[in-house]
Amino acid sequence: MSKQVLPLLCCSPQTGEPLSAEEAAELARVFKAIADPVRLRLLSLIASHGGGQACVCELTGAFALTGPTISHHLRVLREAGLIDGERRGTWIYYRVRPELLAQLSAVLVRDVPVMVSP
């Protein structure tokens, strides 16, 4: 079964301002953080978890990785501003920062060409 590629029939011209060098560098850092499959999956697990937050103890079982490796990936996501962590006793609970995800989404969908199938 082959994938059908839709031809590009219509493109809207760029209407927004292009990213500045500083904005591009910051966005690249954030996109780099989620470009790793483990981190992308961690972000998805946290976002889809009941109540919008997940304990690190609930995340480690989803991977065949050590605790320190999971902690490293969570730290990268936290430093990129994608998640926040809150210590409760001996555990840390993580939640996604929806405002940053909304900003990333806005960058991705702005001035996207309109694709129309024949």
SS3 helix, strand, coil % of the chain, rounded to 5? 50, 15, 35
pLDDT tier, 6 (very low <50, low <70, confident <90, very high otherwise): very low
- Give per-residue pLDDT as tens, 37-87: 999 999 999 999 888 899 988 888 889 999 899 999 999 999 999 999 999
- Give per-residue pLDDT as tens, 107-116: 777 655 544 4
Q: 22-60 as b/e, with b when 16 or more CB fall inside 10 Å?
A: eeeeeeeebeebbeeebbeebbebbbebeeebbebebbe
Domain ranges of the chain: 22-107
- CATH code linked to domain 22-107: 1.10.10.10
